[in-house]
């Protein structure tokens, strides 16, 4: 009888542990980690598996620590109040310990199976997200997602270093692509979540700069992003197939941002840009792999 009663609780606890890692967000980070491995070379499946698991654990650990640090504001926001801590399903100390355990395990795995540089870069992303974004900038500056967003740009460096043992020029371009992609991606969401961020006291761009200025900044970052994605072709790192796919994807993203600026009601087009930007980044990195395969 007790065993039967314990089963749902165990399942719920497991689901909460998985939820702490934010698997839907991590899925895109893993695409931008694994794809550069095949652009950099021909990795062994064991290395790919290790980087996949290590990358998941490192990003998942960062997300868990983020929830620990944001526990005082998560219950004020509709999209976060059902998380394990604000809902009362898990203790804050347990979440913190889980996040640290994930990051520690990932560091060992990446250093042991790949190399120390790979583990160091992954830790760099962890600390940037936890301390630069969550602890420092998120509650103090509308530039939070610009500077702190660099944490999400570390995965290509991790994947590249795991295969080559170094960071090359193309890897730096991949970092910059995600860096400039992040503001229009996140601000498209922020435009529709202003009330949540306002209740939590988080100074996101639309609340501080206003909606029109946020949209203008989305446009400027997109105008930098599109040609930036094409630059690797100019020095022969990627070829014509990638150029065509990157150009088409970039123009579609740019069109979406312009629609947000021109719309009398921006909610739907902003949400469309947010959703497309997720697909955009995944397809852009897939295009790099396809280009290398056709070369």
Q: How do residues 161-170 score in pLDDT, each as one tens digit?
A: 999 999 999 9
- Model pLDDT for residues 83-131, shown as the tens digit of each residue: 889 888 999 999 999 999 999 999 999 999 999 999 999 999 999 999 9
Within 10 A of 142 (CB to CB), how many other CB atoms are there?
Answer: 20
Question: Given pLDDT bands bounded at 50, 70 and 90, which one contains residue 13?
Answer: confident
pTM of the model: 0.92
Residue 280 has pLDDT above 50, yes or no: yes
For residues 19-46, average pLDDT: 94
Question: Given pLDDT bands bounded at 50, 70 and 90, which one contains residue 289?
Answer: very high
Closest CA to 63 of 25, 21, 33: 21
**Cα 137 to Cα 96: distance, rounded to the nearest angstrom:** 20
> What CATH number does domain 1-166 carry, 3.50.50.60, 3.40.630.30, 3.40.50.20, 1.10.357.140?
1.10.357.140
DSSP per-residue letters across 167-233:
--HHHHHHHHHHHHHHHHHHHHHHHH-HHHHHHHT---HHHHT-HHHHHHHHHHHHHHHHHHHHHHH
Question: Would you state the pLDDT for residue 267?
Answer: 93
Q: Does residue 57 contact residue 100 with C-beta atoms inside 8 Å?
A: no
Question: Would you state the pLDDT for residue 8?
Answer: 62
Alpha-carbon Rg of the chain, whole angstroms?
A: 20
Would you call 139 exposed, middle or buried from its count of C-beta atoms within 10 A (0-12, 13-18, 19+)? middle
**Cα 98 to Cα 90: distance, rounded to the nearest angstrom:** 11
Closest CA to 257 of 229, 209, 221, 281: 221
**Cα 270 to Cα 199: distance, rounded to the nearest angstrom:** 21
Burial track 81-99 (b if 16+ CB lie within 10 A, e otherwise): eebbbbeeebeeebbbebb
Q: Six-digit token pair at 54?
A: 């290590």
Question: Would you state the pLDDT for residue 72?
Answer: 87
Residue limits of CATH 1.10.357.140 in the chain: 1-166
**Cα 33 to Cα 118: distance, rounded to the nearest angstrom:** 11
Residue 43, classed as helix, strand or coil, is coil
Distances (CA, A) of 272 to 31, 77, 151, 278: 21, 22, 24, 10
Tell me the percentage of the chain whose pLDDT exceeds 90.
Answer: 76
Residue 192 has pLDDT above 70, yes or no: yes
**Cα 122 to Cα 30: distance, rounded to the nearest angstrom:** 12
Residue limits of CATH 1.20.120 in the chain: 168-295
Question: Would you state the pLDDT for residue 7?
Answer: 61
Q: Does residue 249 contact residue 181 with C-beta atoms inside 8 Å?
A: no
**Cα 62 to Cα 68: distance, rounded to the nearest angstrom:** 10
244: number of CA atoms within 13 Å, CB side? 5
168-295: what CATH class?
Answer: mainly alpha
Question: Would you state the pLDDT for residue 79?
Answer: 77
Q: 165: alpha, beta or left, given left = phi > 0 and alpha = psi -120 to 50?
A: left
Would you call 7 exposed, middle or buried from its count of C-beta atoms within 10 A (0-12, 13-18, 19+)? exposed
- Model pLDDT for residues 204-228, shown as the tens digit of each residue: 999 999 999 999 999 999 999 999 9
Question: Would you state the pLDDT for residue 12?
Answer: 85
Q: Does residue 177 contact residue 228 with C-beta atoms inside 8 Å?
A: yes
Closest CA to 177 of 287, 269, 295: 287
């Amino acid at each position: 009888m007790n065993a039967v009663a314990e089963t749902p609780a165990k399942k719920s606890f497991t689901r909460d542990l998985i939820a702490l890692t934010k698997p839907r967000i991590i899925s895109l980070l893993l695409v931008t980690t694994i794809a550069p491995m095949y652009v950099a070379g021909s990795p062994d499946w064991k290395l790919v598996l290790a980087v996949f698991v290590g990358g998941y654990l490192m990003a998942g650990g960062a997300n868990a620590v983020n929830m620990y640090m944001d526990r005082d504001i998560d219950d004020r926001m509709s999209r976060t109040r059902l998380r394990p801590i604000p809902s009362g399903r898990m203790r804050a100390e347990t979440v913190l310990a889980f996040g640290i355990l994930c990051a520690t395990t990932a560091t060992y795995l990446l250093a042991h199976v790949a190399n120390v540089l790979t583990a160091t870069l992954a830790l760099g992303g962890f600390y940037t997200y936890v301390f630069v974004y969550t602890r420092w900038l998120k509650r103090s500056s509308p530039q939070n997602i610009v500077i702190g967003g660099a944490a999400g740009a570390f995965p290509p460096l991790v994947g590249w270093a795991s295969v080559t043992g170094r960071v090359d020029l193309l890897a730096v371009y991949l970092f910059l692509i995600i860096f400039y992609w992040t503001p229009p991606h996140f601000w498209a969401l922020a435009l529709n979540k202003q009330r949540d961020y306002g209740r939590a006291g988080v100074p996101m761009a639309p609340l501080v700069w206003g909606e029109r200025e946020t949209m203008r900044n989305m446009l400027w970052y997109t105008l930098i992003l599109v040609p930036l994605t094409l630059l690797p072709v100019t020095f022969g790192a990627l070829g014509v197939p990638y150029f065509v796919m990157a150009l088409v994807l970039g123009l579609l993203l740019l069109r979406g941002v312009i629609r947000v600026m021109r719309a009398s009601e921006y909610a739907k087009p902003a949400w469309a840009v947010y959703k497309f930007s997720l697909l955009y980044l995944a397809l852009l990195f897939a295009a790099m792999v396809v280009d290398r395969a056709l070369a």
